[in-house]
Homo-oligomer: A and B are copies of this chain.
Amino acid sequence: MLVVDGPSGNGIGKAIASVLGCEFSECMHNLFPDGESEVGLASAVKGKDVLLVQSTYPLQDKRLMELLLLADDTKREGARSISAAVPYLAYARQDKRYDEKGNAVSINTILSMLSFSGITTLVTVAPHNAESLSTFNGRVIIVDAMAPLAEEVKKNVSDPFVLAPDKGALNMATRFAKALGCGYTNIEKHRNKLTGELNILNAPKADFKGKTVVIIDDMISTGGTIVQTSKFAYENGAKEVVVAAAHLLMAGNAYERITGAGVKELYGTNTIPYNRAHMVDISGAIAKALPSASPKQHSK
């Protein structure tokens, strides 16, 4: 297998290749003065099984386009198979058509195009809703971020209690708490469709006294959910609050908002580089999840 880091592979491909002991190449990348990307393969791909690594955090459209250009070129150059590891997959939250708007179900189009460009296996980390990837015409491999995040949190927090900000995150919370060997619960929130305001509907009878509450989620965008959840934790006796999420999008002033709500530490993975957080390397987890994973043998 040949692993190729795309322009926003951020070294994840290189690390995967190192774990698997296989061939690795950077891609060629150039940005023209008018803003067009130019990409290219720096190694021959003919007859090879190629894994392209490209995360699609902002600027999402540019990074998606670069991936499509690279994949299509890999196909045209005669690769035997093309897999893509897209650590953060943009547009995965646009997975429903809402009645009041005629919005396109964008993730379906993105998945169609990835498939059309020759990608037959798609590997991604902690998508917002795994079911939204079911329309992909190929194999989908989902990598969990909770275990590696929990490992890092464990090093720094001695008295944790895991809190999921909604029911949807309860499965993640369960895995996270198991890895930490601590308790967990979730709150239920309600978003007002007109105003966008978040309200906590049902609160568990949780006593966080003396505990460090670890709020977990798949991603942080504007931080609104985290702000509400952090306030709730402090109101229920938390000693302090930290946050662990797979993808730190941190749109606008998200950092100021969540630290303003008392969040003391932030943990994320390098699916999206973010230098104000503890960064957990996700490469090993991706490498392990690959179907062709045949770890490098130590010489005897």
Contacts and interface: CB of A to CB of B under 8 A. Distances in A.
A37 B59 CA distance: 11
Contacts of A109: 68-69, 72-73, 117
B28 A251 contact: no
A40 B102 contact: yes
A101 B36 contact: no
Contacts of A35: 58-60, 251
A33 B222 contact: yes
A63 B284 CA distance: 35
A76 B104 CA distance: 10
Contact of A103 (B40, B60, B90, B104): B40
A252 B70 contact: no
Interface in A62-92: 62, 64-65, 68-70, 72-73, 76, 90-91
B58 A61 contact: no
Contact of A65 (B36, B64, B221): B64
A108 B39 CA distance: 13
B34 A58 contact: yes
Q: How many copies of this kind of chain does the complex include?
A: 2
A275 to B, nearest CB: 18
A69 B116 CA distance: 14
Given A39-B104, A101-B28, A65 B61 contact: yes
Given A39-B103, A40-B104, A34 B251 contact: yes
A68 B113 contact: yes
A112 B59 CA distance: 22
A101 B27 CA distance: 11
A41 interface: yes
Interface in A175-204: none
Interface string A18-40: 00000000001010111111111
A34 B221 contact: yes
Contacts of A105: 73
Interface string A240-260: 000000000101100000000
Given A61-B61, A112-B72, A112-B116, A101 B33 contact: no
Contact of A62 (B40, B61, B113): B61
A40 B102 CA distance: 5
5 contacts: A32-B221, A35-B59, A64-B65, A69-B109, A72-B108
